[in-house]
Amino acid sequence: MAVGWGLGGCAPLVRPQSASRRRGPGTSFQTSSTYSPGLDIGADEVMVYATDAGGGMGSSIAAWRNAGYQVAVMTSTSHDWSGSFVNGRFGGHDHRGAVQQRRTAACSNSVPPVVYLGRSGAAGALLRRLVQRLGQKVGLRVQSQSVRVTQRGPYVSAIGFSGGQVPGTFADLQQGGFPVVRDPQVEAGRTALLRPLADLGQNHPQLVHTMPRVHQLREAPAETLLVGSGPTGVQGATRLIARHGHPVGASWAGQTLPWTWDAASGTCLIQHPTQPDPATLQLRWASGSGSA
């Protein structure tokens, strides 16, 4: 069973029990209320808010599930709308001394203050314990980490919580020239966008990243051809990697260009102007480690 908790996270709790409802993706709606015929709109899934109304979230989940719905939960680890965690109704421990309380602009004076689990060390510890308890309830082991790393396709993004390293060798795509970094440090509150290098350039030279917009790309053991374009007067940069070769010539729009070869990483950096009309970047390769 796949479950995800996070800020405003949604966690699937049960599978549909009724054959009358479709399995897989379908229609869904959200509610803070327990099941009633007036709310039964025939959707495939209902997302129940974390609330103490109507006997609590547990009874709401059971009521919607018994009506044949797939049930998900909308909750948050940044604030406690109902106060059930802060005041001890959930877990039996009073945490009111370690949180912030303030009214949001959307709250009138007649609405109780929204309880936020603040940014203090004590509040951070409360958040970690809360998420761990939620994980235990659904059979997941929760492990704290100082950096959140997500990979989408060939790219890795990292967000520093308390700060830490991302293991591996990467091209740093947020820095000019896309320098090669090893086990980069992501400081608290900062982000990184990285391209892993471990699997690149094994069979033939490959593009790591480039600043011009790429229209065409052809990669072969002896030659790389890239057709790209960009704004006038902007300095472009292209980094390539070759595990079993080294560069012997480079040109952009027919003009010979110098390059910088980093033998330690097996990468080559070419800096060149860009132009609105597509132009060709050509890089010729020779076998062996070489030098530049």
CATH, residue 240: 2.60.40
Helix, strand counts (H, E) of the chain: 2, 23
Residue 68 is given by DSSP the state T
Residue 137: per-residue pLDDT: 78
Does residue 187 lie within any of the structural domains? yes
Distance CA 173, CA 210 (A): 9
Strand-strand pairing, 70-74 and 45-49: parallel
**What SS3 class is residue 2?**
coil
Q: Which domain holds residue 89?
A: 79-137
Q: What percent of the chain has pLDDT over 70?
A: 70
C-alpha distances in Å from residue 63, one per residue of 59, 114, 128, 220: 6, 27, 30, 62
Does residue 52 lie within any of the structural domains? yes
Distance CA 17, CA 22 (A): 10
Distance CA 90, CA 4 (A): 20
Q: Are residues 274 and 259 in the same domain?
A: yes
Six-digit token string for 94: 């009073």
pTM: 0.56
Total structural domains within the chain: 4
**What pLDDT tens digit does each residue of the chain (292 aa) get?**
233 333 333 333 333 344 344 455 578 888 878 888 888 888 888 888 765 544 566 788 888 989 989 888 776 655 666 666 677 776 677 776 666 555 444 444 434 555 555 555 666 677 777 778 877 877 777 777 778 888 888 999 998 877 789 999 999 999 999 999 999 999 888 899 999 999 999 899 999 999 989 999 999 999 999 999 999 888 899 999 999 889 999 999 999 999 999 999 999 999 998 899 999 999 999 986 654 4
Task: Select from 52, 74, 96 the last residue of a domain.
Answer: 74
Q: Are residues 112 and 45 in the same domain?
A: no
Q: Are residues 247 and 176 in the same domain?
A: no
Q: Are residues 70 and 84 in the same domain?
A: no
Residue 121: per-residue pLDDT: 63
Residue 76: per-residue pLDDT: 61
Task: Select from 55, 74, 93 the last residue of a domain.
Answer: 74
Residue 282: per-residue pLDDT: 95
Residue 233: per-residue pLDDT: 84
Task: Select from 108, 137, 166 the last residue of a domain.
Answer: 137
Does residue 4 lie within any of the structural domains? no
In one letter, which amino acid is 62? A
